[in-house]
Each structure stands twice: as C-alpha cells, then as structure tokens.
C-alpha cells in the first residue's frame, strides 16, 4: 500500500490526495531522462556527447567517470520505478552533489560571465527541479517505509 498524503487545497472543505509512490516514480523517470541517457552517451559515445552534454575539450577520463555515475543513477532509477521506496537513497545522493555543484561551481561560473551550452542549461534545470522536488516531498520517514509499492 502506497503512502498517501492529504494536502489542503485552497477550496474550503476539500483535500487533494497525493500518492507519494507515484511522485517518486515520476522523479525516477526524470532521473532516467536527465542522468541515465546523458550518462549512456558519455560512456559509450563520448566524442558525440562531449559537444552536446558537456563543454568541448573535457578530459576523457572525467567524461567517462561522470558518465558512469550518471548511468548508474539511471539504472538505479529504473529499479526505483519498480520499488519507489527502496531506492530513495539515490535522491539523497543527488540532492547533496547537485546542491554542492550548483553553489560551488555553477553560481560563481555564471556570476563571472561564464556561458553554458544549451544541454548544460537543461541539465541544470533538471537538477534544480529535482533538488526542489526532493526538498518538498521526501521525508526521513519515507526511508523506513515498509511498503512494496
């Protein structure tokens, strides 16, 4: 049985019911698109991915390392779509590394006049979306949820 949370709506005497398992499944699906596919490209087609996923001139070892991490997030996300509460740890890892990356690298890079390619803008948008979604929906009790949803 999935955890459901009632959130008061703006209409008096009504409630909106949210199925957390389905929200997590959506987050895993976004992970698959935003991390799994770019990770696959970086690992198996690094020359192609260099110009579309990262900045040109990136070190091959760094690209394939990042690609391996993102691909593993994509694979874990596939498993998370099946068992949403069992793989929540992947969101915690992402929340931490994305927050650090946005604060330490992206913010100063943009403030100093750095230009991001379109793919990086999309990836950063997905990062911000997932960080906000994690902060809004994931609670410590979700990590101990015993459901098989």
Reported as a single tens digit per residue, the pLDDT across 78-94 is 999 999 889 988 988 88
CA separation, residue 30 to residues 38, 59, 74, 89, 126 (Å): 12, 27, 9, 16, 8
Share above pLDDT 90 across residues of the chain, in percent, rounded to a whole number:
17
Q: Label residue 60 exposed, middle or buried (CB < 10 Å: 0-12, 13-18, 19+).
A: exposed
* Highest-scoring range by mean pLDDT, 19-33, 76-90, 134-148: 76-90
Q: What are the two backbone dihedrals, phi and then psi, of residue 18, each rounded to the nearest 5 degrees?
A: -115, 130
Q: Tell me, what's the pLDDT at 1?
A: 47
Q: How far apart are CA 25 and CA 68, in angstroms?
A: 22
Mean pLDDT, residues 27-33 = 90
């Amino acid at each position: 049985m999935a955890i459901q949370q009632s959130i008061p709506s703006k209409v008096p005497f009504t409630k909106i019911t949210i199925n957390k398992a389905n929200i997590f499944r959506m987050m895993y699906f976004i992970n698959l698109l935003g991390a799994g596919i770019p990770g696959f490209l970086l690992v198996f087609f690094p020359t192609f991915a260099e110009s579309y996923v990262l900045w040109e001139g990136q070190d091959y070892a760094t690209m394939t390392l990042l690609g391996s991490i993102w691909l593993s997030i994509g694979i874990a996300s596939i498993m998370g779509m099946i068992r949403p509460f069992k793989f929540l740890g992947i969101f915690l890892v992402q929340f931490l590394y994305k927050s650090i990356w946005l604060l330490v690298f992206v913010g100063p890079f943009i403030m100093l006049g750095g230009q991001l390619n379109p793919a990086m803008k999309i990836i950063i948008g997905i990062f911000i979306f997932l960080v906000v979604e994690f902060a809004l929906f994931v609670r410590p009790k979700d990590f101990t949820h015993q459901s098989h949803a």
